Amino acid sequence: MNATTDPRLRSFLDVAPESDFPIQNLPYGVFRPTPAAPPRAGVAIGDWILDLAVLEARGLLDLPELAGGGVFAQSRLNEFAALGPPAWHAVRARVSHLLRDDVPTLRDDSELRDQALLSRATATLGLQFEIGDYTDFYASLTHAQNVGRIFRGPTAELPPQYRCLPIGYHGRASSIVASGTSIRRPRGQFRLSGETGPTFGPTRELDFELEVGLFVGRGNELGRPIATAAAAEHSFGFALVNDWSARDIQQWEYVPLGPFLGKNFATTISPWVVPAAALEPFRCDGPVQNPPPLEYLRTDGPQAFDIRLEVALQTARMKVPQVVCRTNLEALYWSFPQLLAHHTSNGCNLRPGDLLASGTVSGPSPGSFGSLLETTERGGRPLRLVSGEERAFLADGDTVVLHGTCEGPHYRLGFGECRGTIGA
């Protein structure tokens, strides 16, 4: 445990016990205080946003690790993330100190508080990074088995190499959108049941995918892999990811090169990046890997995180969302250090702000499946909702909300919501 995750810490701000953003969290985001204002970096604390650009301008973040400063008045976090762990830890420690209930610097300066703190409800949140590249993995064993059985049959559940290496594909960074952005139903080719050839039109099998993504901080040089033991030096923080999927388009196109138009139309991410340091108290053991991975994928100590994940679905007729999935990130077969190591094992260079997503996270039972494809057996067992409606896949007007929380004996922290509504 580091000092910033000490359960005894309290903020001078009134933070509700059920808040996603206690002083032990301090996630980073990019926001506009007013719609016309330029974006800048901030930290979420309770119901407020702490404006890091204001603190920087007032000299309260005058830290040698920031190499001259000026990183928080920018519209993205890339430059800050590129500075690496010394800068991340120094800023986190200083912000934590300023927010403590026994430190008067911010607490007793009403003028500074008025400038540096604003309500999250009044701010406009945006993308945290200029995301140059996005890679989506297939790291949940149960999800891979379920999809293989549904798409290829019970004798071909897993690709033969699944337990040997983390399978992934390069997604489309340009269509990553902030939480709250409307998702247009994609059009594409798919083959209807009983037909020999394809048709073209709006997808009939629009789905969500419950995922967690890692934002790369400091990158690596071309030709120099990242070892699993060095993964923490490159892991800036984590966010929720909904990698929307058109299953009918996906099945028609994915052999032999994998997903393309069935997935690249939109990916939604939550607005706050939870620092890797904030998740350390929730580190845990992941599944036993059998056979043991090759040397470059081996790790020491716990590499998974106990993050409770859920998906809620709200139709146009429903007043409140209904939870349709509960699972846990600890179910991932492949850990994030292994994803980093494998991605760079051939010398591939990652850059600050690159996004590596886990792929759909699914547990062992239908209530823990992270997609409708699995939950409804590709529509064969429609989901019955409290409104009396049924869903095999998503309909226009449906809203999907992802949540993630870490629950400890002394405090909880969360990621905020990852929300998207389906349009025609």
Residue 362: partners with Cβ closer than 8 Å, 6 or more residues away: 140, 142, 143, 146, 210, 327, 331, 368, 369, 370, 371, 374
Residue 189: partners with Cβ closer than 8 Å, 6 or more residues away: 198, 199, 200, 249, 252, 253, 261
Instruction: Catalogue the active-site residues.
Output: 143
Torsion-angle region of residue 145: left (phi > 0), alpha (psi -120 to 50) or beta? alpha
pLDDT at position 1, please? Answer: 61
The last residue of a domain, from among 126, 143, 166: 126
Beta carbons within 10 angstroms of residue 121's beta carbon: 8
Residues 61 and 85 in one domain: yes
pLDDT at position 45, please? Answer: 98
Q: How far is C-alpha 407 from the geometric centre of its chain's CA atoms?
A: 18
Give yes or no for a contact between 268 and 242, defined as CB atoms under 8 angstroms apart: yes
pTM of the predicted model as reported, rounded to 2 decimal places:
0.96
- Element of type H or E holding 169: strand 168-170
Residues 261 and 407 in one domain: yes
Q: Which domain holds residue 112?
A: 3-126
- Rounded CA-CA distance 292/9 in Å is 40
Give yes or no for a contact between 126 and 132, defined as CB atoms under 8 angstroms apart: no
Tell me, what CATH number does 314's domain have? 3.90.850.10
Token pair of 148 as six digits = 């293989």
Residues 227 and 172 in one domain: yes
The last residue of a domain, from among 126, 152, 175: 126
Residue 303: partners with Cβ closer than 8 Å, 6 or more residues away: 283, 285, 286, 335, 336, 337, 338
pLDDT tens for the chain, 424 residues: list them: 689 999 999 999 999 999 999 999 999 999 999 999 999 999 999 999 999 999 999 999 999 999 777 899 999 999 999 999 999 999 999 999 999 999 999 999 999 999 999 999 999 999 999 999 999 999 999 999 999 999 888 877 888 999 999 999 999 999 999 999 999 999 999 999 889 999 999 999 999 999 999 999 999 999 999 999 999 999 999 999 999 999 999 999 998 888 999 999 999 999 999 999 999 999 999 999 999 999 999 999 999 999 999 999 999 999 999 999 999 999 999 999 999 999 999 999 999 999 999 999 999 998 999 999 999 999 999 999 999 999 999 999 999 999 999 999 999 999 999 999 999 7
Residues 273 and 198 in one domain: yes
Give yes or no for a contact between 305 and 329, defined as CB atoms under 8 angstroms apart: yes
- Rounded CA-CA distance 424/420 in Å is 13
Give yes or no for a contact between 398 and 391, defined as CB atoms under 8 angstroms apart: yes
The last residue of a domain, from among 126, 159, 193: 126
Q: What is the full DSSP assignment across 93-113?
A: HHHHHHHBTT-HHHHT-HHHH
Handedness of CA 192, 197, 200, 203 (dihedral sign): positive
Residues 260 and 203 in one domain: yes
CA distances from 81 to 91, 189, 221 (A): 11, 40, 16
Residue 260, classed as helix, strand or coil, is coil
Residues 347 and 364 in one domain: yes
pLDDT at position 202, please? Answer: 97
Tell me, what CATH number does 93's domain have? 2.30.30.230
Residues 88 and 156 in one domain: no
Give me the number of domains the chain comprises: 2
Task: Find the angle CA(23)-CA(103)-CA(85) to the nearest 5 degrees.
Answer: 50
Residues 172 and 305 in one domain: yes
Give yes or no for a contact between 212 and 309, defined as CB atoms under 8 angstroms apart: yes
Residues 72 and 209 in one domain: no
Residues 118 and 139 in one domain: no
Give yes or no for a contact between 336 and 354, defined as CB atoms under 8 angstroms apart: no
Please list, residue by residue across 325-358, b when 16 or more beta carbons sit within 10 angstroms of its beta carbon and e when fewer do. bbbbbbbbbbbbbbbbbbbbeeebebbbbbbbbb
Residues 220 and 334 in one domain: yes
List the one residue out of 335, 373, 369 whose CA is nearest residue 259.
Answer: 373
CA distances from 147 to 91, 250, 251, 327, 359 (A): 42, 11, 10, 17, 12
Residues 121 and 151 in one domain: no
Residues facing residue 383 across a β-bridge? 391
